[in-house]
């Protein structure tokens, strides 16, 4: 069982890791990135030991100061210019250093970190891997799960990225207007991935990770605060995340069982987050005609969130948005969702035609979704035997325990017709 102190440090790790790395890079430079990451990691390990006796009154300040001191120690061991280190702690530069810890400077440092991670000199997958590691403190295992990669591949990507950042002398700054649009698109993708891992985790023993959902929403708000990086896509992304996050408390029962959308207790949905999501989607109108997949996903999520009951859901509107999304961004997951909608509308033939247009392996780690939907189709046409076959395949494919138990429970309710 995890000790309360470990849980506290783990929570702070999620909240503070990116801030600490970003501030220390402002102080020591990107060339010392690996040392800084090691120093931050060491600081949290030290916190676990030190706080056993007496936790500090201000944990965030303790962590940042300890990480700064640890970085200075490491730099001295590597014989970094002593004069530079002296300037950090004494004289007029001390004032400048303290200013870096003001809220608005911390936010600026984090924005620089986000855009540095998404630099065009890095490949798209490397950008995302590096951002998840350096901004939000993902472990290698978590990054591998989020990007459907092997852990060794992620380790190599991170090493290569650090080397490339050092060798190409990438600057720690927000890009100019000319380069901003492309870089911002990648930033949004990274935030979306962070949220997705929180809302539907790839971990075997954990389906929901509220801390990651909160981190993604925080980063999204951070970007929208600055006028020069504000966009319709950014508001649409915030909208879909807030609306989805509003349902988190209804996704699992008190005993940890997965509850599907149809059977969720809608009174548990957090209305203030839904309202924020609605307002954010309205804000996108000022940035038309730009439309992204985030716009469609947000519109769909909002329909679900504002329907009084599952049966009263406007399935026509949802299907239309999935169609538009697929036209812009062809994706096998969208096809599966379109088939699910058609099953709700009792249009079974259209549903099976959609499912037959894709191959289950296209969904990679989420292949079980295909077989689960196929099972629903065969149940809809009263073919329980074939439905069981597909459910058994889905159960073999799924790795998350809560999802597996959900499918097993569903299987137990199916009775073969005589």
Let me know whether 246 and 288 are in one domain: yes
**117 and 223 fall within a common domain:** yes
Regarding whether 93 and 47 lie in a shared domain, the answer is: yes
84 and 167, same domain (yes or no): no
- The answer on pLDDT for 1 being more than 80 is no
Nearest Cα neighbor of 118 from 215, 193, 35 is: 193
Choosing from 285, 310, 335, the residue where a domain stops is 310
Task: Provide the percentage of residues in the chain whose pLDDT is more than 70.
Answer: 89
Any domain includes 350: no
**Considering the chain, what is the average pLDDT of its residues?**
86
Q: pLDDT class for 139, splitting at 50, 70, 90?
A: confident
> Based on the domain organization, do 261 and 292 belong to the same domain?
yes
Domain check: are 197 and 300 in the same one? no
Query: What pLDDT, on the 0 to 100 scale, is given for residue 2?
Result: 47
Residues 201-215 as b or e (16 or more Cβ within 10 Å = b): bbeeeebbbeebbbb
Are residues 128 and 151 both part of a single domain? yes
Q: Per the domain annotation, does 418 fall within a domain?
A: no
Residue 156 inside a domain? The answer is: yes
324 lies in some domain? no
Arithmetic mean of pLDDT, 179-192: 88
Higher pLDDT, 336 or 74: 336
Please, what's the largest Cα pairwise distance for the chain?
Answer: 88
Query: Which of 101, 132, 156 is the endpoint of a domain?
Result: 101
- Residue 401 neighbours by CB distance under 10 Å: 15
Alpha-carbon distance of 73 to 88, in angstroms, equals 13
In total, how many domains does the chain have? Answer: 3
Rounded mean pLDDT, 151-160: 92
Q: Does the residue 186 lie in any domain?
A: yes
Q: Which of 310, 345, 363 is the last residue of a domain?
A: 310
The pLDDT confidence band at residue 3, using thresholds 50, 70 and 90, is: low
Q: Examine the domain organization and report whether 214 and 275 are in the same domain.
A: no
In this predicted structure, the answer to whether residue 122 has a pLDDT above a threshold of 70 is yes
135 versus 238: the higher-pLDDT residue is 238
Per-residue pLDDT of 77-121, as tens digits, reads 666 555 555 555 555 555 466 677 677 787 888 899 989 988 888
CA atoms lying within 13 Å on the CB side of residue 330: 4
Q: Which domain holds residue 290?
A: 238-310
Looking at residue 143, its pLDDT comes to 82
178 and 122 assigned to the same domain: yes
333-339 — which CB contacts under 8 Å span 24+ positions? 333/363, 333/366, 333/369, 336/363, 336/369, 336/370, 336/373, 339/373, 339/377
Residue 36 belongs to some domain of the structure: yes
> Is 371 part of a structural domain of the chain?
no
202 shares a domain with 167: yes
Is position 298 within any domain? yes
Predicted confidence at residue 202, as pLDDT, reads 64
How many Å apart are CA 216 and CA 112, to the nearest integer?
Answer: 16
Same domain, residue pair 79 and 116? no
> In terms of domains, do 186 and 266 share one?
no
Helix, strand, coil % (nearest 5) of the chain? 75, 0, 25
Rounded distance, CA 163 to CA 359, Å?
Answer: 38
């Amino acid at each position: 069982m995890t000790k309360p102190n470990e849980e506290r440090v783990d929570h702070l790790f999620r909240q503070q890791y990116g801030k600490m790395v970003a501030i220390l890079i402002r102080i020591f430079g990107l060339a010392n990135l690996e040392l800084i990451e090691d120093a931050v990691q060491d600081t949290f390990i030290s916190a676990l030991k030190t706080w056993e006796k007496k936790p500090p009154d201000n944990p965030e300040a303790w962590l940042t100061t300890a990480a700064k001191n640890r970085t200075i120690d490491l730099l001295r061991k590597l014989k970094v210019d002593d004069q530079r280190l002296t300037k950090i702690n004494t004289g007029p530069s001390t004032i400048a250093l303290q200013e870096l810890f003001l809220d608005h400077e911390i936010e600026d440092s984090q924005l620089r970190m986000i855009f540095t991670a998404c630099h065009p000199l890095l490949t798209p997958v490397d950008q995302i891997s590096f951002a998840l590691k350096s901004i939000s403190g993902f472990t290698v295992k978590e990054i591998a799960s989020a990007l459907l990669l092997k852990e060794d591949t992620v380790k190599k990507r991170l090493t290569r990225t650090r080397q490339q950042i050092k060798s190409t002398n990438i600057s720690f700054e927000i890009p100019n207007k000319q380069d901003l649009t492309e870089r911002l698109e990648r930033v949004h993708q990274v935030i979306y991935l962070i949220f997705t891992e929180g809302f539907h985790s790839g971990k075997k023993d954990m389906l929901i990770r509220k801390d990651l959902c909160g981190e993604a929403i925080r980063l999204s708000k951070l970007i929208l605060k600055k006028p020069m990086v504000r966009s319709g896509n950014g508001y649409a992304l915030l909208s879909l995340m807030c609306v989805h996050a509003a349902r988190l408390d209804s996704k699992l029962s008190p005993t940890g069982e997965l509850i599907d959308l149809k059977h969720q207790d809608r009174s548990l949905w957090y209305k203030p987050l839904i309202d924020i999501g609605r307002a954010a989607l309205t804000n996108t109108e000022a940035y038309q005609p730009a439309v992204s997949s985030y716009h469609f996903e947000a519109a769909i999520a909002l329909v679900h969130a504002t329907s009084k009951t599952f049966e009263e859901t406007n399935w026509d509107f949802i299907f239309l948005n999935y169609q538009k999304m697929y036209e812009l961004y062809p994706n096998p997951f969208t096809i599966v969702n379109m088939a699910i909608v058609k099953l709700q509308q009792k249009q079974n033939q259209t549903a099976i035609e959609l499912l037959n247009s894709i191959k289950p392996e296209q969904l990679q780690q989420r292949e079980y979704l295909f077989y689960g939907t196929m099972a629903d189709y065969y149940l809809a046409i009263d073919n329980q035997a074939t439905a069981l076959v597909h459910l058994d395949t889905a159960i073999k494919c799924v790795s998350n325990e809560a999802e597996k138990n959900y499918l097993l429970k569903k299987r137990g309710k199916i009775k073969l017709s005589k």
